[in-house]
Structure 1
Amino acid sequence: MPGTKSRAATSNPKTGKNTPQVVNIRKQLTQTVVQLIMAQSQHKQISYFRLPVFKGKGLARHAYKKAGTLLLATLIAFTFPLSSHAQLNDRINKTILSVADSTDLTSDTASTALKTSGSPQIYIPKAIHYNKEEIHSDFVLAARRASFKKYLMEKTIKETFSGPLNQYTDYKFENACLSATQFLIKNQYTQRGFEKMFEQYFRLDPSARFALLTAVYGIYPVTFKDKIKEILPYERDPKLFAIAALYDYRIDTSITNRNRLMRQMEKQFAGSSQNVLLRQLSSYLLRHLADQITPTPSVIELFRYQQLWKQKTIYSFQRWDRNYSGLCIVQYEDGHFARDQNGKLKIFRQLARSGSGLPSFITNGNTPQGLYRIAGSRVSIDKLIGPTPTLQSIIPFQSDSVFFRGLPYDSTGTKLDNYKILLPPSWQSYPPMQQSFWAGAAGRRYIVIHGSTLDGSFFEGWSFYPNAPTDGCLSTMESWDTATGALDKSDQLDLVNTYHKTPGGLGLLEVINLDNQKKNVSVEEINALVEKFEASK
């Protein structure tokens, strides 16, 4: 029979294994995995991989793909404590053999199970640890920083904003706005450049108008109030209208002005009640001032409630005024908090302020309060973030299959109901803790926990100095050796290693505004919260 002949040509009649085709597949998989792990060890980003071609049919082909995918994912996901290429190749070969031995790659009736009795098991490390000595960035070298700053200030800012604004230079002005926002650059050139853009506001495309409005909101809180009032009645883009309205409201928070802005919104957007972003704008105008002075529910309840889900959790404690930096701590699955070898609570300095300082429901606004899912760590290719591993947090609506994985989910309830059930009862009725949910619904994405290579001198004079603002992520403190490019001190690295001290990449992140005090969150405040929780056990 044709099928029998084909199978005999590629498989051992007795076992279906160790044929030339399977041996070749093992070799190709080994080469692929070696390349991937070597790239990971050099902090290179892997965007995709391709499995070697397998010409089998039916279940055999499916089993091969499943085995290969699991193998590669397992190897890439963890850091191996290996000292040489030879040891690495040996480990990979043993792992590939264990997969091949438990999956018949050539039989059309093969089982897709990857483990069978008596077969070797795939090696999975218990924890991940990143070494400080292996982290290096040329971007932080003194000469490189000086060169970057000179180009930024003279070319990106001065030359662009001093030149003409037209269809050929629009993109330069837009990029200059983004740079000014990131580095909080306020000088005669930024002011003149923004004035030019307001003069041609409705000729600009939406992305350029967005860059202008976010820059103005973050850098010039009052200067352009008249320009904002001029454009507000004619802006038809919901997000741009919202930013302009927020600028106006920040200057005048009276009930009269609030009601005027609400009427303007209803007049310009007939379906405003159906637009998530405009609903959040309405909620902000109605409740923000009261929310800032409303007492936060008991943080101790959050610590206790964590035990229902047995998820390791990062708590990031912030102020309502994000010009002040916060602190974060880690609670493990069994409920105890991460401590150093001397028993001292591990606390990490963190900033939740964006360059624009906009509310959390606006793209690139401040980090929203609320729940996130942590889905492991990775190394960014963004030079401003740097090579220190990041913690990848998932916001609701970004990837619900990841956000709710391993957590209770009632399919008869709404997504918001399932989000709220992850919080203690007293927090379920506390609207500010839903900010991350509604930010996700409004389109925000990619809010992660990362370090920074930014030159802190840009932010001297700010209360959060020497930390650096972001595009709305959580920025954890780092300092670098500008002579060698080595990592000097990193709360970010310590946080990532602390998080990964127990197995598994999935966990929770909770961002909480404690109150509206005009000062950085203190170590004493966090110690007091944890001590109160531990005393009540």
Structure 2
Amino acid sequence: MLPSPEDLNLNAHHAALRAPALLAALLALLTGCATAPDAIPGKRHSTQELLSYQPADFRWQPTRASAEEAARERDLSLLRQRLSLAPGSAEAQAALPDILAAVLHYNTEIDAARAPALSGLAGLEARPADVQRAVLSAVYRFYAPEASAQLWALLPKLSSPREFAIAANALLKPLTGPARQSAAAQIKAQMQLSFPTTWTDEPRLRALSWPLDQALQPSAPNAAPPLAELLAAPLRPGYPVVFSLQRPGREVLGLALLRGADGRFVREADGRLFQVPQLARALSNLPGTITLGNTPQGIFAVRGSSTASNPSIGPTPFLETKLPIEASVSEFFQVDGSDLDWSEPLYAALLPQSWQAWEPIKEAWLAGRAGRDEILMHGSVVNPDYYRGASYYPATPTAGCLTAPEQWDPANGRLLASGQLQLAQAFARAYRQAQERNPGGLDPMVKGYLVMVELPGNDGAGGPVLAAELEASVQAAEQRWLNRPR
């Protein structure tokens, strides 16, 4: 039986980043680089192996209290040294991405980093794109209101769609009502001017168009289609599906449910829905088409389970999820071979008809087109106390993945309890049941789907997602599955 979210001591990873050498080096320090003695990095786990594991089979030395405290003190000392560099100096400019990465990870020194971050906006258009992304992401996360004037001046100078989209979202973030509507009009006009031939199709700019249009037409209908219809989506019949239900804004814990290959949702012995708390929030909290942003809404293929070669994720087997384009058409549709090329209609064909025109559910398709990859369902090894006071505490944000709760023994680093292992094993059981009904038809490695979707409504004011609010939609979905055309 899974503990309630309130009883869980959550941890999370800070996932591998594609970043400049200085930033990559700091992130390695932040997350700890020791290899888990009981884990083999890169190991692939068969269905049977997944089902055989116990929490005690895994340990992670960096979660020992003494190791975690030593690493934190070392990294914060380095952070403070870098914050003390002469403002505007070449050294301070070079260290800025590392500084902001540490501030995001440890959720500390936010006030001390304000001046360097805001000064970093001056002349940012001339710096490399990854430096632009690092600075703009931190400004979006912590300093958007006070950066407004600088961002408006910078926006026309940004030639990369990714960085333009981050800056535009930072401008919109603090605004409501008429002020937001006015800003949206200016941003859309600038987007069309800066990217005259690509703004309608470039994935990050197309994703940006959604909040812009919502701000420009606040009275236009924007209700999501019925959730039950998405929960009943056939996808590829014969495969289990994880549904990760999140609140808009990702300010609170979401919930993962599991639908078996027979269309019925997995339940506990007492009839309650099988459920695992999940957080799908990035450190930056940027939209899902942006590098290192939140987990995008939409459909992912599950293509096996592995232990991370990146030690920041921890040793618990993750479920490997792939976006469209990151996965070939054959991989995504779970077939041996296909000569089809990826297209939006091909992706949309997996959705119920009522959802095919709903733009937010295509975020995964756009994220794949934008080059995002390695968005996984995994465990968590970061100290949740870094985020004490956050509305999602005791969960921790990541670099864009979905993390489930784990408890680690601070004395010896052994895994005590793992929502991630429970989810992976429930998925493996559902996959094995499908194998038994189709002997010889499925691979020994787990396969299936993930559907990530935000629930209708406002931000996290409603509190964590609870199974009770989903029960009616689940029952309606199961009935729709039984009545679907054969």
TM-score by length of 2: 0.80
- Counterpart mapping for 1:317-332 below 5 A: 317-332=245-260
SS class of match (1:330): strand
Please state if 1:271 is matched with 2:271.
no
444, 451, 454: which one aligns with 1:510: 451
Does the C-alpha gap of structure 1 residues 167 and 245 become closer, same or farther in structure 2, counting only changes over 3 Å?
Answer: same
SS class of match (2:234): helix
Does the C-alpha gap of structure 1 residues 267 and 534 become closer, same or farther in structure 2, counting only changes over 3 Å?
Answer: closer
Please state if 1:382 is matched with 2:310.
yes
Does the C-alpha gap of structure 1 residues 230 and 40 become closer, same or farther in structure 2, counting only changes over 3 Å?
Answer: closer
Opposite residue 265 of structure 2, the aligned amino acid is: F
Structure 1: tracts of 5 or more residues without a match:
1-38, 48-75, 80-124
Q: Give 1:305 shift.
A: 3.1
215, 222, 226: which one aligns with 1:294: 222
Partner of 2:82: 160
Does the C-alpha gap of structure 1 residues 207 and 166 become closer, same or farther in structure 2, counting only changes over 3 Å?
Answer: farther
SS class of match (1:329): strand
Q: Give 1:298 shift.
A: 2.3
- Return the alpha-carbon distance in structure 2 between the equivalents of residues 141 and 531 of structure 1: 43
SS class of match (1:144): helix
Q: Give 1:201 shift.
A: 2.8
Does the C-alpha gap of structure 1 residues 521 and 293 become closer, same or farther in structure 2, counting only changes over 3 Å?
Answer: farther
Partner of 2:467: 523
SS class of match (1:309): coil
Does the C-alpha gap of structure 1 residues 231 and 491 become closer, same or farther in structure 2, counting only changes over 3 Å?
Answer: same
Partner of 2:39: 43
Q: Give 1:226 shift.
A: 2.1
Contact kept, 8 Å, 2:207 with 2:363, in 1: the verdict is no
Does the C-alpha gap of structure 1 residues 257 and 133 become closer, same or farther in structure 2, counting only changes over 3 Å?
Answer: same
Contact kept, 8 Å, 1:293 with 1:515, in 2: the verdict is no
Partner of 2:352: 424
Opposite residue 361 of structure 2, the aligned amino acid is: M
Name the stretch that deviates more: 142-151 or 281-290.
281-290
Please state if 1:487 is matched with 2:415.
yes
Name the stretch that deviates more: 196-205 or 320-329.
196-205
SS class of match (2:302): strand
- Return the alpha-carbon distance in structure 2 between the equivalents of residues 535 and 241 of structure 1: 45
Contact kept, 8 Å, 2:409 with 2:415, in 1: the verdict is yes
- Counterpart mapping for 1:127-146 below 5 A: 128-146=51-69
Q: Give 1:370 shift.
A: 0.6
Greater Cα radius of gyration, structure 1 or 2? 1
Identity percentage over the alignment? 27
- Return the alpha-carbon distance in structure 2 between the equivalents of residues 432 and 264 of structure 1: 23
Partner of 1:215: 138
Partner of 1:355: 283
Name the stretch that deviates more: 418-427 or 522-531.
522-531
- Counterpart mapping for 1:162-181 below 5 A: 162-164=84-86, 165-168=88-91, 170-181=93-104
SS class of match (2:313): coil
Opposite residue 450 of structure 2, the aligned amino acid is: L
Contact kept, 8 Å, 1:162 with 1:189, in 2: the verdict is no
TM-score by length of 1: 0.73
46, 54, 71: which one aligns with 1:78: 46
Structure 2: tracts of 5 or more residues without a match:
1-34, 433-444
Contact kept, 8 Å, 2:210 with 2:359, in 1: the verdict is no
Contact kept, 8 Å, 1:479 with 1:487, in 2: the verdict is yes
Contact kept, 8 Å, 1:184 with 1:355, in 2: the verdict is no
Partner of 1:405: 334
Q: Give 1:296 shift.
A: 2.6
Q: Write the deviation string for residues 44-71 of structure 1: whole angstroms up to 9, x where unpaired.
A: 2249xxxxxxxxxxxxxxxxxxxxxxxx
Contact kept, 8 Å, 1:170 with 1:204, in 2: the verdict is no
Please state if 1:303 is matched with 2:231.
yes
Structure with more helix by fraction: 1
Q: Write the deviation string for residues 54-96 of structure 1: whole angstroms up to 9, x where unpaired.
A: xxxxxxxxxxxxxxxxxxxxxx6537xxxxxxxxxxxxxxxxx
Does the C-alpha gap of structure 1 residues 42 and 480 become closer, same or farther in structure 2, counting only changes over 3 Å?
Answer: closer
Contact kept, 8 Å, 1:456 with 1:467, in 2: the verdict is yes
Structure ranking higher on relative contact order (CA contacts 8 Å, 6+ apart): 2
Contact kept, 8 Å, 1:307 with 1:333, in 2: the verdict is no
